[in-house]
Structure formats: C-alpha cells, structure tokens
Structure 1
Amino acid sequence: MKKCLWVAALALSSSALAATPPEGVEFKPRRGFFTETDVGVFFTLGGENAYSNAQSYLQLGVGYDLTETLSLGVHFGLGSSAANCFAGYLPNTDVCALSDNFTVAFGDVTAAYNVRLADRLYLSPKVAAGYTRLDPAPVNTEGDPGRTIHAPNAGVGVGIEYATMMDHFSVGADFMARYVIGPNIPTFALFPRVKYTF
C-alpha cells in the first residue's frame, strides 16, 4: 500500500511541475511598437591606412514587430572615421589629399528576423538600407573639397536579444556592416542595445 501511494505521489508531482509555467502564465516576449538606444564603437576599412581608429557610435531607432519573428525599424546612426585616408596622399608626402577624419551619419530602414534560441533569447539576422552623409568629403568631389557627400548605403548584420524579467525591456548586442555606395567605403559598428517595447 505504501509503495502504491509513493508511486502515485511521484507521478502527480512530476506532472504538476511539467504542466505549470512560472507564476501560472506561459512566458511570451512583448511584441509591438518599440524604441531602442545603442552606444558602441565604429570604424571603417580600406583607404591608405587599411582601417580607422575605433570611435564612439550612437544609434537611435523606432520600429514595430510585425510578427513574433519579423521586425521593421528606422534607425539613425552617428559615427566617425579617424586617421584613415580615402583620397590618397599628396605626392612625396604622407599628408592626405582630403580629410582623413570625417563624420558618418546614417538614416536607414532595417528589417530583422528573430530566431528563438531559448525561452528569452533570440538571434536576429538583419538587413539595412538608406542614406549616408559624410562630412567633410573623404574622397574627391566636384567643387569645394570641404563639402559633404550624400550617398546611399546597404548593409547586413547580426544581433542577439534577451527579453529581461522587466516586462518591457530587452537587451542585446549587434554587429552591423554597411557599405557606402559611391565613395565605396565599408563601415562597421559593434554596439550593445537596449530596447523598450510599449
């Protein structure tokens, strides 16, 4: 009799643990309209110096989760390329023909596909395309060499996102590679991300 009661107790306790999610409610990450703030590092590749010094990068974004897996957003990013000459050196010198330090501003539309790795953890491949402003011009342009350049950009990236125990907040990190078309400048940004979903 004792043996039967013991087996029954084990069976009931294991099924109860398996069927009851934490606090009685199954976890689902919040999806919908979101904003995000990102601060990280930025650099360029190519040019006479092969790569630029790493500089600070700021990105702000708004977007909407269309489904559990697909998100669309608009992001504004600001970084700079430091000590990398894209215009070539003046003859017989190591002086850049144009500025080897310039600001890079992005205004992009982005799309992300969230792949669930665990209950709160997602891998997010991304694509981006939009507008770039380079100031001052790092490559030859007609007219004033100090003027800005406006050019399109396209890029890809990958991120990781974790839905925290605070209901509206997710944190993560992204790596984005963008190519500025026209001046032909590859840019890279690596940044942690804080996302708030309304």
Structure 2
Amino acid sequence: MKTPLLTAVLALLPTAALSATAPEGVPLEVRRGFFTEADIGVFFTVGGLNRYSNAQTYLQLGVGYDISDRVTLGVHFGLGASAANCFASYLPGTNECARSDNFSVVFADVTAGYLVPLATRFYLVPKLAAGMSRLDLSPTGTGDPAEPQTMPNAGVGIGVEYATPLDHFSVGADVMARYLIGPNIPTFAVFPRVKYTF
C-alpha cells in the first residue's frame, strides 16, 4: 500500500528541484559590509644617507566596513623594518651610522578607500591613511637610541581589488606610501591583499 505513494513522491522530487532558481546565469552580488583582511608583502624606507633601505617583510592586518558600494573605512595595523639606511650622520672618519640604521616600524592607521569600477567585480582603489607610528630603535634625535620613538604618520596609496566568484572573498594588491612626521622618513609598502567580507 505504501510503495506506490513512495514511488510517486520520489518521481516528483526532480520536478521540485528543477523549479528552484538555477545558479547559472544569475549575476553574482558583490558582498559588502564588515570585513577583515590579511596582507603580507615588502617594506622599505627612502631618503637617509643610503638613499633607500633593503626590502624587508611587511605584515598588515585590518578590519573595516564598506559604507556603500564605493566607500570603505578601516583600521589597519602594519609591521615593517628599515634595514641599512642611516637617517642620522656617519661617525667622523667612518661609514658607521651615529644612530641605528636598522629599526622596526609599527603602524596603527585609519584608512579610507574609494572603489572605482574598471570591469565587472574589478576596482581601482585610491586610499588615504593617517595614524600613529612607533620606531624601535630610534634612527634620529638626540636621546637614547634604545628608546622607541612615537610619531604621527600620513599616507596615500593605490590598489586594485577583485571580488572573486568565491563568495565572501576579494583579492587585490596595494602600494602604500606613508610619511613619518617628526623624523621625516618616507616609507613604502607593496603587498597583495586577501579580504573576507562577512
């Protein structure tokens, strides 16, 4: 008695499945809202007596929110290092820097970006950044070189972003220039980005 009913229900299942919206041909909606990102790339300083530092690893973590389809705000924490670039003077008769020519740079910045569409799900993203920096060891000044320096920074950047077909994930790449106000040190970071939007 129950077998014909079960057979009829099973026969109708493919029809019910076909009535659902097919995934093919449905345009992907780019997800916007709260996001996190992780970036790893290279970092260097310019200026100084050696003109530029050796490239070092740069790590950046961030959280933010897409205010609209075009405007994004975030807070980013970055860590880089300047290697072999003297921002003081050489000791008399030597090529030895009077202060440390190797130091780490920590950034805590508020960033704003504007997404300019270039193609479907592909954007050019100019950015502004401002915040605080911490240098350890101290490359300039007259105090104890072992004492870290804290100062404001301001920067501009340009990047690209692609909202992948994999929901939640965007990838991109940025070039960010920041100026350390006080010791007057220009810094550059170049890094790919991986962004997850909730």
Using the size of structure 1 for normalisation, the TM-score is: 0.87
Quote the residue 1:77 is aligned against: 78
Letter in 2 for 1:154: A
What is the alpha-carbon root mean square deviation over aligned residues? 1.2
Equivalent residues in 2 for 1:2-21, closer than 5 Å: none
Counterpart of 2:196 in structure 1 is: 196
Q: CA deviation at 1:25?
A: 2.6
| 1:53 aligned residue | 54
What letter is aligned with 2:178? R
1:116 aligns to what?
117
Instruction: State whether residues 174 and 190 of structure 2, in contact with CA within 8 Å, keep that contact through their aligned partners in structure 1.
Output: yes
Within 5 Å, which residues of 2 pair with 1:1-150? 23-142=24-143, 144-150=144-150
Q: Which residue of 2 aligns with 1:184?
A: 184
Number of residue pairs aligned between Structure 1 and Structure 2: 177
- Counterpart AA for 2:66: D
Provide the rounded CA distance (Å) in 1 between the counterparts of 2:44 and 2:61.
Answer: 18
Tell me if the contact between 2:103 and 2:135 (Cα under 8 Å) persists in the aligned partners.
yes
State the 1:139 CA deviation: 0.4
**How far did residue 28 of structure 1 move?**
2.2
State the match for 2:165 in structure 1.
Answer: 165
Amino acid at match of 1:46: G
Inter-partner Cα distance in structure 2 for 1:96 and 1:140: 13
Q: Partner amino acid for 2:155?
A: G
Aligned letter for 2:153? N
Name the SS for the 1:117 alignment partner.
strand
What CA distance in whole angstroms lies between the structure 1 residues aligned with 2:142 and 2:67?
41
Shift, 1:24, TM fit: 4.2
Q: Match of 1:174?
A: 174
- Cα distance in 1 for partners of 2:120, 2:23 equals 12
Sequence identity of aligned pairs in percent?
Answer: 70
- 1:141 & 1:161 partners in 2: Cα distance? 43
Q: Which runs of 5+ in 2 are unaligned?
A: 1-21
